Structure 1
Amino acid sequence: MPVGRYADRDPDRSESFAERLLGGLLDHAHALPPDRVGPALADAVARLGGRQVQILLQDYGQQRLVPLAGDGLEGGDPLPIDGSAAGRCFLTARPVEVALADGVRVHVPLLDGGDQAGVLAVTLDAVDDDDRRILRRLAALATDTMQTKNGYTDLFFRTRRGEPMSVAAEIQWSLLPPLAMVMPRVAVAGVLEPAYDVAGDSFDYALNGDVLHLAMIDAMGHGLDAATMATVAIGAYRHARRTSVELSEIYLFMDRAVAEQFAPDHFVTAQMLRLDTGTGRLQWVNAGHPAPMLIRDHRVVRRLHSPTTLPVGFGGDQPQVSEVTLLPGDRILCFTDGLVEEHAGGQEEFGEDQLIDWVHQLDRADRGVRAVARDLSHTLGRARGGTTTDDATLVLVEWRG
C-alpha cells in the first residue's frame, strides 16, 4: 500500500455502473456478428432503464432515417429527415429531447469522424446528465462497431437502400469515402444525385496530416461504362496521391491510366484540390470542370477561374496549378456540370446564376456544411422537377482556420 504523501493518489480502480455498461459492449465488440450489434446496444440501453430503442440509419438518398431491424430494437416506418425530431438531431449532430406522456424520447447522433451515420433514439422515464453522458458514449461505441462490421456484411447497406439501385450506382457507392468529414480545421460534405442511379460522377478525399486532398470527377456517358471509367480514375488518383506527388503530376498519372484503358474518345473531367489546413493555402487543377465557387460570409464572392487543361484521358500537357489563400470560415463549392446544365421541362438550362441564388438562401450562419450541401442538392433537384438526365454532384469544403 502507498504510504506518506502519495497515499491519497492511489486511483480508484473499482468498476462503476457506467464502466460495466460500456465495458460489457467493448469487451465483446470484436466478436459480435454484424446482426448482433443492434441487439447488444438495445440490451445495454435497457440496463440503463431505456426502452423503444431504435437505430436509425440515413438512406442513400439522404431523405429518410430507416430503423435497423434486430432483436430488442423498435421497428416502424422510416422517418423523414426534414420535419422530425430524429431528423433535427441528424442535421445538427446534437442531441434532441422530446417530452412524452410517459417519459422523454432522447435522440443522440451516431457520429463517425464528423459523418452522420444516423441517430440512436431511446425512451426514458426521465433523463439527467449522467444518462446523457452514458447514451452519448454508447452511441459512439455503437457507431464505431457498425463501421468496423460494415466491411463484411450487407445488413447496413440493405437497411439504407430505400429503392432499387443500379449496378453502376452500387459500384460508385463502394468507391466513395464517407459523405462528410468534420474536423477541427476543415470540414467536407458531398452529395450524389440520383443516389440510386449515379454512374459517372464521384469524389474522393483524404486528410493527411495538415493537408486535405480532394478530387471530383465526371466520367463521360452513363451506366456501367461510365462507372468503370470513374473507378479507374479514382483508383489512379488515390495511387498518385499516396505517393505524395504534386497536383500536376497527379493529373498526368490519371490521364495515362484512363488513356491506356479506354478508347481515344473516352474521357473524364476532373477537379483536384489540395488545402493546407494550417495556413488556408488552396491549390487546384481544373481539367474540364465548372469553376468552383468561393463562399465568404455566406455569399458567393468569386468564381475560382483558372487555366483549364484537357479532360483526363485526352493526353493534355502538364497543367498549371492555381492558388488562393482562404480566410477562416471560407467555403469552396465544387460541382459537376449536371447540376447546372439540366433543362427543366424543355426550358433553358438551370444555370449557375440560379445555383448562386440558392447558395445565398441556404448557406446561413450556424449551419454546417453537411446540412447546407444536402439542402442545396435537394433544393436544386426539386427546382429541376425532381428529374435529371445526368448525374449531379456537389462537394462543399470549409476551412475552419
Structure 2
Amino acid sequence: MPDGPASVGALLRAAPPDRLPEVTAEHLRARYAADGIEVLLGDLSLSTLRPVLDPESADGGPLEQRCFGSQQPVLDPRPDGTTRLLLPMTVWGDRLGVLRVQVPGRPAPELTAELCSIAGELAMAVRTADRDTDRYHQARRRQRLTMAAELQWDLLPGRSLDGERFRLAGALEPAYAVYGDHYDWAVTGDLLTLTVLNGQGDGIEAALLTATAVNAMRNARRSGANIVEQAELASDAIYSRHGGNAHVATLLLEVCLTDGTVEAVDAGSPRAMIAHNGDLRTVSLEQQLPLGMFGDTRYEIQKFGLEPADRLLVVSDGVHAAAPGGRVAYGTSSLLTAVRRTRMQRPAEAVGTVLRGLRDYHAGIDPDDDAVIVCLDWLRQTE
C-alpha cells in the first residue's frame, strides 16, 4: 500500500481533477484509520470555509477559522478519545482552505507533520485542477457572480504569495460584483512586479477594459519588458480600441527583493503607502496620464525605497477615496486606524482587516465603487 505524503501526490496526479477530495479521503481512511474527513475551501471573500465532500453540511466553525487564519494545525481532542485535526491547505502562501480529519488517539508531532504535508499536496492539486473542473469554483461561491466579477476573478494571480524575502497578499471587494478594479503580480528572480488597476466605468465594460490592460502588461512583461514598456503597450492597446474615450488608472511597481528599491510608474488613482511602526505615509509620486487617454503616451520611472520592517500597501480609490453618505474620505484617518490593527498580522490577514474596516465605515450604505488592496512585507535577508 502506498504510504505518506509523497504517495498522496502520486495518487492525486493520477486522479480525475474533480475527484481529488475523495482520493485523499480514501487514502486517509486506509492509511491512518481516519474518519470525519472534510475539505473546506475559503469562499471568495475569505469570510467562510465551504465544505466540498458534503456540500450540504455546515461551514467551517471557529476552530477551522483559527487554523485558516494562523496557518498552523489545530488539534481538537474529542470525548471518545479521538482527535480532530484541522490542517491548512496552502500553496506558496496562497491560503485555499482547511483539511479536517479525525484520527484515533492523540497524534504524535511526526504524524501531525505528515498529515500537514498531505494537506499541502491536496492544496497544490486543487489549485492546478481549477483549470479543468468547476467543482472547486462552485464550492467557493455563496452566491452567483456578476459577469464582470467572473471575468475579474479569472484574471487574478491568486490572493497571497510568500517567498524567502517577501510576503504578499491582495483582496478585492465586493467579491461577487466587482467591476474595473484589479491587481496583478509576478515574481521572477530578484524582481517582484505589482500592479493595481482601476478601469473606467461600471459593469462588464469596465471589466473588459481592465482585462485588456492586464493582458497587455503581462504580454510585455513576459517578453522581458520593463514597467515603462508594460505601461506604454497597455496604453496603446486601450487607445487603439477606444480612441481616448476610456482609460485605466494604474500604478505599476517593480520591487528589487535584494535591496528594497522600488521603481514606479504612477498612471492614475491607486495610491502607494508605507506603514512603519504604526505610522502611515503616502509615497509621493508624480502622477502621469492614465493608460489609454492618448495615443503614443510615454511614461517615466520614479523610484523610492523600502526599509526593513516597512509594509507597502497599494489601494485603489475605492479604498482611499471612499466617502459614504458624504463623510470624509476613508483614507483621511480611518484607513490609518485600520492599518494600525494589522501590525501583528501577516499580509493575508491584514488585507481582510483593512477591508472589514472599510465595510464598517460604510455603516450599511452600499459602496459606489469596488475596492482593491495589496499588501507587501519586504523581508530583507541577512548575510
Same fold? TM cut 0.5: yes
Note if contact 1:55-1:68 (Cα within 8 Å) is conserved in structure 2: yes
How big is the shift at 1:23? Answer: 5.0
Normalising by the residue count of structure 2, what TM-score does the alignment of the two structures yield?
0.93
SS in 1 for 2:130: helix
Q: Per the alignment, in what secondary structure is the counterpart of residue 226 of structure 1?
A: helix
1:108 aligns with 2:87: yes
In 1: Cα distance, 2:198 partner to 2:244 partner: 17
- Match of 1:41, as an amino acid? T
Q: Which residue of 2 aligns with 1:251?
A: 231
Match of 1:122 among 97, 101, 104: 101
What is the 5 A alignment of 1:145-294? Answer: 145-294=125-274
What is aligned with 2:13? 30
Task: Report the 3-state secondary structure (helix = DSSP H, G, I; strand = E; otherwise coil) of the residue aligned with 2:368.
Answer: coil
Q: Distance in 2 between matches of 1:299 and 1:92?
A: 25
Task: Specify the alignment match of 2:316 in structure 1.
Answer: 336
Larger Rg: 1
Does 2:23 correspond to 1:44? no
What CA distance in whole angstroms lies between the structure 2 residues aligned with 1:106 and 1:299? 39
On the 8 A contact 1:191/1:393 being kept in 2, the answer is yes
Structural mapping, 1:323-362, within 5 Å: 323-360=303-340, 362=341
Contact 1:21 1:44 in 2 (8 A): no
- Shifted more, 212-221 versus 348-357: the winner is 348-357
2:361 match: 383
Q: Partners of 1:141 and 1:294 in 2: how far apart?
A: 35
Unaligned runs of 5+ in 1: 1-16
Q: Aligned to 1:282, what secondary structure does the other structure show?
A: strand
User: What letter matches 1:123 in structure 2?
Assistant: Q
In the alignment, the residues of structure 2 paired with residue 219 and residue 290 of structure 1 have an alpha-carbon distance, to the nearest angstrom, of 11
Render the CA deviation track for 1:88-143: whole Å, top value 9, x for unaligned: 11111111112221222211110111110101111223211232122011111111
Q: Please list the CA deviations of residues 176-230 of structure 1 after superposition, one character each: whole Å capped at 9, or x if unmatched.
A: 0011001110111011000000010111100001100111100011101001001
State whether residues 263 and 302 of structure 2, in contact with CA within 8 Å, keep that contact through their aligned partners in structure 1. Answer: yes
Counterparts of 2:312 and 2:267, CA distance in 1: 17
Is 2:50 aligned against 1:66? Answer: yes
AA at the equivalent of 2:86: H
Over the aligned positions, Cα root-mean-square deviation in angstroms equals: 1.8
How far apart are 1:382 and its partner, in Å?
2.0
Distance 1:261 1:30, change over 3 A: same
Q: 2:76 aligns with which of 94, 98, 102?
A: 98
Aligned residues: 375
Indicate if the aligned counterparts of 1:338 and 1:391 stay in contact, CA closer than 8 A: yes
**Percent of counterpart pairs with the same letter?**
27
Q: Distance in 2 between matches of 1:320 and 1:36?
A: 50
1:169 and 1:197 in contact (8 A); partners too: yes
SS in 1 for 2:210: helix
Could you tell me whether the CA contact under 8 Å between 1:60 and 1:160 is conserved in 2?
A: yes
Superposed CA deviations along residues 339-395 of structure 1, whole A, max 9, x for unmatched, are 1333323434333321112111x2223x21110111111221122125311111111
CA distance in 2 between counterparts of 1:391 and 1:369 reads 20
